[in-house]
Structure 1
Amino acid sequence: MTVRVDTAVYGADFTVPVARIPATNFPGEPTVVVPVATQGDWSLVLTASRQQLPSQAADAPAQTAAWVPTTDLVQLGELPDRIVISLAAQTLTITDTEGTARSSFPVGIGTAQAPTPSGVTGYLQARYLDPAQDQLVHRIQLTSLHATAADEPYGGSDGGLIGVHHQSDATGRVSHGCLRLASDAIEAVDRLALGTPIQVVE
């Protein structure tokens, strides 16, 4: 789903706004959110924003959620696929909604010092090319998940968002928390709809 306009988000009291979801994201595309629960006229949505930084709290969450009025959401379509990352097996598997694997690929993950967050589910929220990161052919698949070991483990100012990047040698503990895929794998992920859930398991 996307938001119709810049939308205030609320905590469980549904009274005091705690943040705002912009109608467009940094590449200028509609901002994608994923509803996970409803209560009356409200929807609890996963967002791509931080609630806390690791420097502020040792247990800063990798994924956050907040309440928005359901009328502020726009339906995009069905999400027939899921992504499951196994850190132990170092695999990325695309499944259907029943958990049946469609395809599986090797994946490079974070180091012990800058690990990929585990035990969490986020979603694909944006795609873009980035010459500054030598990503000129295969789009970065930006997730809604955040690094948990450091505020900005790989520099920049995006709050440590976890991306899925192309890398020709995409195996082992090779990143600062992001995920690395070879060409065929990143192309498969690029074909999935934005909003597709991405689950990271140990």
Structure 2
Amino acid sequence: MAPAEVYVAPTADAIAALPEAKYNATIAGLMPAGQSAAAGSPAAGSPATGTPATGSPATVPGAAATFHLSVDAALYGADRVTPVARLAASNFLGDPTVVVPVQTVGDWTLILTPSRQALPSANNGSAPAQTTAWIRTSLLTKDADLVSHIDVSLGGQTLTIVTPGQPDQSFAVGVGAPDTPTPTGVTGYIQARYLDASQGESVYPIQLTSLHSAAADEPFGGSDGGLIGVHFEQENTGQISHGCIRLPADAITAVNALPLGTLITITA
């Protein structure tokens, strides 16, 4: 369906009434990453998103930047006509929400979002690990360019920080157990980092990604939305986690030095 020729901005009240696209939300109107072709052709030279967990390996954008919002903004699905969600200017920690665009088509920009599009339990046990949505380009204010990106190989059980012009930094890591696998073939981003003593993290911040388990609603239990984290753990080798990436101290220190919004691609 083609987008409306005349854009009508929703009122502040209409935006406030939309479901918030936050880490533990499931919003059917969002798009699985890599399945947004109906919304328009990418701009020349713009990067592609990662694909859903059941798809082919993701493409890592070669150039990217982070942005922020001054006010809550409406998000749109493929038709770019009816808003489906609200992206808050501040995240669940009270910090500015990090916005990571993946392509721009005129007045519209496709961004990665922190919410789910479907639950695995309602989708034959497999759901997209990353979602996207359209937002008005004029609402985005640039913060910084992203230089480095993270590659995680589940087969090699490694996390590699890639920075053009510099040697790669690679670390052995722990990944999801067979019954609680880490999603593969997908690109997300680091949306937040924080210390959580209740999870045993009082020294090394948890790196919270925008990715979710593609195989289970809540593999860790609780109500965190099946989020995939990158975090320090004493036991950090093998297929041992609930889907998160477990890192030794030197690795989490290196990841912690990267800016929020840094892209993370997970491959088999």
Q: Same fold (TM over 0.5)?
A: yes
Query: What is the CA–CA distance in structure 2 between the aligned matches of 1:112 and 1:72, rounded to whole Å?
Result: 42
Query: What is the CA–CA distance in structure 2 between the aligned matches of 1:177 and 1:101, rounded to whole Å?
Result: 28
Q: More deviation in 174-183 or 51-60?
A: 51-60
Question: Is 1:78 aligned to 2:176, yes or no?
Answer: no
Partner of 2:256: 190
Report the residue type matching 2:205 in the other structure: R
Partner of 1:201: 267
Q: Is the 8 A contact 1:82 1:97 kept in 2?
A: no
Residue 4 of structure 1 and its aligned partner are, at CA, apart by 2.0
Question: Is 1:31 aligned to 2:94, yes or no?
Answer: no
Runs of 4+, deviation exceeding 4 Å: none
Residue 149 of structure 1 and its aligned partner are, at CA, apart by 1.2
Q: More deviation in 189-198 or 167-176?
A: 167-176
Q: More deviation in 53-62 or 87-96?
A: 53-62
Residue 156 of structure 1 and its aligned partner are, at CA, apart by 2.2
Residue 48 of structure 1 and its aligned partner are, at CA, apart by 0.8
Query: What is the CA–CA distance in structure 1 between the aligned matches of 2:86 and 2:225, rounded to whole Å?
Result: 16
Query: What's the TM-score, normalizing by structure 2?
Result: 0.73
Total equivalences in the alignment: 201
Query: What is the CA–CA distance in structure 2 between the aligned matches of 1:155 and 1:50, rounded to whole Å?
Result: 17
The 5 A counterparts of 1:105-184 are 105-184=171-250
Query: What is the CA–CA distance in structure 1 between the aligned matches of 2:225 and 2:214, rounded to whole Å?
Result: 10
Residue 127 of structure 1 and its aligned partner are, at CA, apart by 0.3
Partner of 1:6: 72
Match of 2:102, SS state, is strand
Residue 158 of structure 1 and its aligned partner are, at CA, apart by 2.2
Report the residue type matching 1:138 in the other structure: Y
Q: Is the 8 A contact 1:108 1:179 kept in 2?
A: yes
Match of 2:182, SS state, is coil
Please say which structure displays the higher CA radius of gyration: 2
Query: What's the TM-score, normalizing by structure 1?
Result: 0.96
Report the residue type matching 2:250 in the other structure: D
Q: More deviation in 42-51 or 89-98?
A: 89-98
Residue number among 110, 114, 127 corresponding to 1:48 in the alignment: 114
Deviation track 1:76-121 (CA, whole Å, cap 9, x = no partner) reads 10111010000000000000258x7521001110000000000000
Match of 2:229, SS state, is strand
Q: Is the 8 A contact 1:93 1:101 kept in 2?
A: no
Unaligned ranges ≥5, structure 2: 1-66
What percentage of aligned pairs have identical amino acids? 57
Query: What is the CA–CA distance in structure 2 between the aligned matches of 1:195 and 1:74, rounded to whole Å?
Result: 14
Partner of 2:127: 60
Higher strand share: 1
Match of 2:122, SS state, is coil
Query: What is the CA–CA distance in structure 2 between the aligned matches of 1:192 and 1:165, rounded to whole Å?
Result: 14
Residue 14 of structure 1 and its aligned partner are, at CA, apart by 1.1
Partner of 1:96: 163
